[in-house]
Amino acid sequence: MKRSRRMVVLCHCILNASAIVEGEAAYAGALENLLLPIARDGLGIIQLPCPESTFLGLKRWGMTSEQYDTPAFRRHCASILEPFIDQVEDALENGIEILGIVGIKGSPSCGVRETCLGCRRGTARGSREAGRAEGPGVFVKVLRQELTARGLDLPMTEVDNGDPEAACWEETRKSLEKGKRT
């Protein structure tokens, strides 16, 4: 079978629940409702790296966007993104269609339209105690900046990985096609 020459870019934990903060994963391994239809649609997948687990490891607490919004974490995001943006740029230069990027609703790092705010200094508060807020997470902000710096612009949307049954590729694909941006 010929390749479709079409791809989608997914945030890491859509394919790997083990990267999610301890106790917060709502599925065993991968978000099936999203991935199986993507595979059936004949799309290739670029899996972005997980910025939090590559920065603080799997023993990290749930934190908020303000807590991650530091020079060191932003630099880390830019650094781990570089080879993936190279891959995206090269694919586009070679005529491959990239439908867009799928982030994680409410994540302090990977939220696209909704993130997590409400840092309470001095305590080990989990992200579930913080509030949801409009706006992108830190990793997505850096991703946009790095894409823009190369003259690239891809639609972005997000899925709620806390509700795996509700994840729907059809809706996600439509959202990307509309080019929804925050």
Of 5-13, 72-80, 126-134, 150-158, which segment contacts ligand SF4 by CB under 6 A?
A: 5-13
Which residues in the 36-75 window bind ligand SF4 by CB under 6 A? 50-53
Distance separating alpha carbons of residues 138 and 73, to the nearest angstrom: 8
Residue selected from 33, 65, 67, 107 as contacting ligand SF4 according to rule CB under 6 A: 107
Of 8-16, 117-125, 152-160, 170-178, which segment contacts ligand SF4 by CB under 6 A?
A: 8-16
For 92, the enclosing helix (H) or strand (E) is helix 71-93
Q: What CA dihedral angle connects 24, 176, 52 and 39, to 10 degrees? A: 70
Residue selected from 8, 101, 110, 142 as contacting ligand SF4 according to rule CB under 6 A: 110
140 contributes a contact to ligand SF4 by CB under 6 A: no
The nearest distance, CB 59 to ligand SF4, in angstroms, is 13
Distance separating alpha carbons of residues 155 and 150, to the nearest angstrom: 15
- Tally of CA atoms within 13 A in the half-sphere of 139 that contains its CB: 32
20 contributes a contact to ligand SF4 by CB under 6 A: yes
**Cβ atoms 120, 84 nearer than 8 A:** no
80 contributes a contact to ligand SF4 by CB under 6 A: no
Helices 71-93/138-149 angle, 10° precision = 50
Q: Which residues bind ligand SF4 (CB under 6 A)?
A: 11-13, 19-20, 50-53, 104, 107, 109-110
